[in-house]
Every structure is written in C-alpha cells, then in structure tokens.
Chains A and B, each alone.
Chain A
Amino acid sequence: MSILTALNAYLHLDTRQRTFMREKEIDTSMTLEEWIPFLGGVARADRASDVLRKMLGWLTILTIVPGFVLAIVTESATPLLLWIASSVSVFCWLRLRKIDMPPSLDRFLLPWLVLLKEDVAPKSEVSLRLDLRGAELTQKAIMAADMPNGVPRSPRACNDNYFRDDWASGTASLADGAILQWDISDFVRKRVKTRRNARGKTKRKTKYKIQRSFDVNLSVRDRDYAVSNIVPDTACRASVKRGEKRTAVRIRTRSVGRERFTPPRLTDLVDTISRAYSSLSVAPKER
C-alpha cells in the first residue's frame, strides 16, 4: 500500500519538482499560489517515501538475518532469494535516501509560505532561494581548527569544523506596500573528539552546535508608515536606514541549538518580523 502511495506521489510530480528533490536547490520567483503546490507536492512525496524507506529498512533486517542463518543450515534456494530481496531493498532504500528532504521543508518553509499568503500583495511574485543540501559540505566550510582548547590536557584529539549554511532566503511584496526580505542562515560547529581508552580502543564522539540567525529587512514607504527608532535589545540587533521615499528596518535575531535536523520554530521568524513592524505607525494621510 505504501509502495503504491509513494510511487503515486512521486509520479504526480513534474520535472521541476523531481529536479528539486534530487538537487535540493532552487532559486526562482513565483506567486505563492504556485509555490505552495510546488513545494507541497514535494513534501507529500517525501512523506510517502519516508514511510516506504522505514518499511524497506525493516525488510532488509528481516531478510538478511534469516538469509544468513538459512545459508548455514540448509542447502535450498531460499537463502539466495532472501539475499536478492534484501539487496533490492537496500538499493531502493539508498535511492530513496538520496531524494530525502529535510524536515524544514514540511514543518517550517511550507507553513511559513501559507502564513505569508495572508500578508502578501495579491498576484505578486515571491522570490525564494532554497538550499536544503545540509550544512556539512566542502563549499560551505569556513574554518577548521585542531585542538581548540590550546594545550591538550588529556590524550584526546579535538577537531572543530565550522560551516555556514545560508539555506533559505526570500523577498516578497506585501499588501501594505512594504517589501519584506528574510534570510535564515545556520552557523554550525562540528566538534569531533577522539580518545583512546585503557584497552587501546579508539572512541569518537561528535557534537554539533548550531547558531541560527534570522535576518529581516523590511522596507516601507514613507507616505504609508512612520518609523520610530528601535529600542536596543539584548535579544536582537536592529537598525533603521532612511532613504528618500522608503525607510528600511533591519532586524537580526539568533537562536542556539544542538540538533542538526531540527527545523526552526515558525514563531522565531514571525517574532523577528513582528519586531520590525512594532517600530512602525501609520503615517498621517496628506490631503
């Protein structure tokens, strides 16, 4: 049943959606009426493939172990069949893992776009740049350091790798005439500690620290809104840049986490934009 569901969900995707699932990158402009079905179809196919992948994992375990035991005990063709089944399931599992999307798509990006629909100007295009390949890529590495603690106090090697992952950004024209730009980036520290125990066994421990920053730039028309200076806050950095016709409010907030695949909280981004809006008041109408 779940094989059919997954296959059906995947077959319903168009070429662009399949390319996005494979490459996990996109940088284009569309209306939200196009973005939501586009990403929604990918998320549905991903959900179905997750269920299928879990089933294939169990199938591999259930076929490979009896296949091994039966190969020792009997001389029939059953172990061979079980090994073929397990090989096929491992192959399918690996193929599905290649097109697996991070939970941020289903639990953060899509809800965010659905919410944004409430504020975005009708029929206006929203520009999105998504890179869901993950942070641990060579081109995203910014720094590496051995022995960050200075002198090794124990027979322990410590290696730090730093990555910067600008994985989601976008621009939208809102119904009130404002232009909203947002940028979400992760600064990831991967710390690998290696130590040898008394019996000579090498143990390795990997820990992550992720600092996630939300950068919001809200540009409003001076004839629509009056912008007051933002009160400095420890939780965020803010600045106001006044132009001839528009004023831009920039806000940056940060959150720290330890889990690699935890999607951001939607309220964190909404709170950041709300802070920018809190500095606005409706400008008196000129007659």
Chain B
Amino acid sequence: MQSLNSCTVQRGIFSLRECGNASTDTCAQCMRPVCMEHAHYGAEQILCPQCYAASSKDKADEDSESEDTSDWDSPGWSGRWSTEYHSSHDYVPISAAGAHDSFDDVDRNAFATRSDGALDDEGDDRAGSSSGFSDS
C-alpha cells in the first residue's frame, strides 16, 4: 500500500503502475507528490511529467519530440518520452496486473458479504433503521 508521502506518478510505457518512491516535491499545477526522478525542475516551478508534457506540447511538434532520443541521459527523459508517446499514439497503457493488490483488508471488508449472502450495508434500506437515510 502506498504511503501518503510516496510519488504518485504513474510510471511505465506498456503497463502503468505507481512509482512509489519517496516524494521530494509537489507538482505546482496538479499538487501531486513527485519524487526526484519524476520532478521536472523548470525555470519557475516544479512539474510532474504529465503537466510538464502538457505545458511543453505547444512548444514543439509532438512527433519530432517523441522521436528525439539524443538527450536520453538527461533526468526525467524516459517519463517525458513515454508521456509524449502516449499522447501522440493510439496506444493506451494497460493498468498493471498486480494493481488489485494495493487494496488492503479494510477495503475488501467494505464489500464483504454476510453469511446469508447479502452485502453488509443492506440494512441501510430497512424501514425504521437508524442508518440516517430518509426518503427525500
């Protein structure tokens, strides 16, 4: 399970998963926590790869940007490249297969069934119950 201080940038080209590294900064536009690897230090602000790609989209032609491999050793290049690739190609990356594993027992218990097969929140609809629901 991801902690609150972990980087929430989705990484991956073919299948997406959360980065999970310890965050060091916050994106100035979407306010999501980002780690050092995924932070883009611009002249004025720090951006996540998605916001950075969106802001730089107007500056250059998409195809020429995504095929530019000369600066592969600059920090954050892979994140920029994959963001530009996803935005300029038809391919939508699949969510990682192990994504369900990020739900813990508390999440699962919310949907747990009783011995009679009904969901636990079914009692909310019973008449006279003190669940706080009322007809509008």
B110 within 8 A of A: no
Q: Which residue of A lies closest to B15 (CB)?
A: A176
Chain B residues, CB < 8 A from A23: none
Query: A70 to chain B: closest CB distance in Å?
Result: 43
Closest 6 CB pairs of A and B: A224-B97, A111-B69, A111-B72, A274-B91, A176-B15, A277-B14
Question: How many of B's residues come within 8 Å of A, CB to CB?
Answer: 28
A interface, size bucket: 20 to 34
Instruction: Flag if A176 contacts B13 (CB, 8 Å).
Output: no
- Name the CB-closest residue of A to B66: A267
Which residues of A, 178-209, contact B by the 8 Å Cβ criterion? 178
A114 touches B72 (CB 8 A): yes
Looking at the complex, which one of A110, A118, A277, A282 makes contact with B72 (CB distance below 8 Å)? A110
Determine how close the nearest CB of chain B comes to the CB of A52; give it in whole angstroms: 20
Q: Does the CB pair A174–B15 fall under 8 Å?
A: yes
Q: Which residue of B lies closest to A275 (CB)?
A: B91
> Closest residue of chain A to B101, judged by CB?
A285
Find B67's partner among A225, A266, A277 (CB 8 Å cutoff). A266
Using CB atoms and an 8 Å cutoff, list the residues of chain A in contact with chain B: 40, 107-108, 110-111, 114-115, 117-119, 174-178, 220-221, 224-225, 265-267, 270-271, 273-274, 277-278, 280-283, 285
Given A108-B69, A282-B97, verify A175-B89 contact (CB < 8 Å): no
Q: Enumerate B8-31 residues with CB–CB distance to A below 8 Å.
A: 11-15, 17
Compute how far the CA of A66 lies from the CA of B67 in the bound complex, rounded to whole angstroms.
45
Instruction: Establish whether residues A285 and B94, one from each chain, have CB atoms under 8 Å apart when the complex forms.
Output: no
In the assembled complex, the CB of A227 is this many whole angstroms from the nearest CB of chain B, namely: 12
Residue of B nearest to A108 (CB): B69
- How near does chain A come to B67, taking the closest CB pair, in angstroms? 6
- Asked, given contacts A175-B17, A270-B13, whether A114 binds B77 with beta carbons under 8 Å apart, the answer is yes
CB of B78 within 8 A of CB of A117, answer yes
B99 on the A face (CB < 8 A): yes
A278 and B97 within 8 A (CB): no
Q: List 11 A-B contacts (CB under 8 A).
A: A111-B69, A111-B77, A115-B13, A118-B12, A119-B13, A119-B14, A175-B17, A266-B67, A270-B13, A278-B91, A283-B97
B96-108 vs A, CB cutoff 8 Å, 1 = contact: the mask equals: 1111100000000
Contacts of A283 in B (CB 8 A): 97
B78 touches A277 (CB 8 A): no
Within the complex, which residue of A108, A118, A177, A267 is in contact with B98, where a contact is CB–CB below 8 Å?
A177
Complex Cα gap A36–B136 (Å):
63
The answer to whether A118 and B13 have CB atoms under 8 Å apart is yes
Identify 5 new A-B residue pairs, CB closer than 8 A, beyond the known A107-B69, A177-B97.
A114-B78, A115-B78, A115-B82, A225-B94, A277-B91
B78 in contact with A175 (CB, 8 Å)? no
Pairwise interchain contact A115-B81, C-beta atoms closer than 8 A: yes
CA A232 – CA B73 in complex, angstroms?
A: 37
Chain A, residue nearest B17 (CB) = A175
